[in-house]
């Protein structure tokens, strides 16, 4: 039986082994003292807890470059996601296959959601259409939305929204890049990013982790 110790795992991940053990303990997944964790069992437990063993039907709305890129993205299937439908407002797109899936018109949105029991929707439309699409998704029963459009969506309670801003990551890189260059005047620089984050977005979305460097 192949096993791993918390020590090995921690070293590989660059974290503290005690924390890792404590985290695992919340799972209820018990390791064996003197031996370690059964790899297969551990992988299964974590996968299940994360929802990777379930099948999540997903719709993508807005089949432009980004929507097409998402439809073609290989990582989805392996993580338990299944693209149930591609939806676009352009009638000319209807029926055209993208990533092997025929695009359907926005008119079908509600019925697609209901027929497939979709609870997760991806919005890759232009900013102008995003809120409207969002409202329709929610009304049809979607309770989780991944938003790529550069708009903050408002949704009723009980609906989760995560906003992906492709430029935020670039901004974080630029921030570091700037600090590499100018070590002189940039003395009391850092903790700003936290403040900036507070200013721009109202909560939803991924927090780019810039290490909170405390200036001298």
Nearer to DNA, 4 or 99 (CB): 4
DSSP 14-34: TS-HHHHHHHHHHHT---BTT
> Is residue 45 at the binding interface for DNA, with CB under 7 A as the rule?
no
Both tokens of residue 202? Answer: 């109202």
Q: Interacting stretch for DNA, rule CB under 7 A, among 5-13, 74-82, 121-129, 168-176? A: 5-13
> Is residue 212 at the binding interface for DNA, with CB under 7 A as the rule?
yes
* Nearest distance in Å: CB 172, DNA: 17
Residues 163-202 interacting with DNA (rule: CB under 7 A): 194
Q: Is 117 annotated as a binding residue?
A: no
Q: What are phi and psi of 2, to 5 degrees?
A: -70, 130
Q: Give the one residue of 24, 89, 131, 155 binding a copy of itself; rule: CB under 8 A.
A: 24
> Is residue 150 at the binding interface for a copy of itself, with CB under 8 A as the rule?
yes
Which DSSP letter does residue 65 get? H
Contacted by 169, from DNA, a copy of itself, none: CB < 5 to 8 Å by type: a copy of itself
Do 91 and 103 contact (CB within 8 A), yes or no? no
Nearer to a copy of itself, 139 or 170 (CB): 170
Token pair 């209820």: residue: 28
Our CA angle for 77, 104, 100, nearest 5°, is 40
Q: Interacting stretch for a copy of itself, rule CB under 8 A, among 88-96, 103-111, 131-139, 200-208? A: 200-208
Distance between CA atoms of 188 and 186, rounded to whole angstroms?
6
Q: What is the dihedral of CA 4, 5, 11, 15, to 10 degrees?
A: 110
Annotated binding-site residues for NAD(+) read: 62-67
């Amino acid at each position: 039986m192949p096993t791993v110790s918390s020590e090995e795992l921690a070293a590989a991940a660059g974290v503290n082994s005690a924390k890792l053990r404590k985290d695992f303990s919340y799972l209820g997944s018990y390791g064996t003292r003197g031996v370690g964790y059964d790899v297969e069992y551990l992988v299964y437990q974590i996968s299940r807890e994360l929802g990777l063993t379930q099948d999540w039907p997903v719709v993508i709305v807005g089949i432009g470059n980004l929507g097409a890129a998402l439809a073609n993205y290989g990582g989805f299937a392996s993580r338990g996601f299944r693209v149930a439908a591609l939806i676009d407002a352009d009638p000319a797109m209807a029926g055209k296959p993208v990533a092997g899936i025929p695009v359907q018109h926005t008119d079908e949105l509600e019925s697609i959601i209901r027929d497939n029991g979709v609870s997760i929707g991806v919005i890759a439309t232009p900013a102008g259409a995003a809120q409207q699409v969002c409202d329709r998704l929610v009304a049809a029963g979607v309770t989780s939305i991944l938003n790529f459009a550069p708009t903050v969506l408002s949704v009723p309670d009980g609906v989760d929204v995560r906003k992906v801003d492709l430029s935020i990551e670039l901004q974080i890189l630029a921030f570091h890049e700037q600090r590499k260059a100018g070590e002189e005047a940039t003395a009391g620089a850092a903790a700003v990013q936290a403040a900036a984050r507070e200013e721009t977005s109202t909560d939803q979305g991924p927090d780019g982790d810039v290490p909170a460097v405390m200036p001298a």
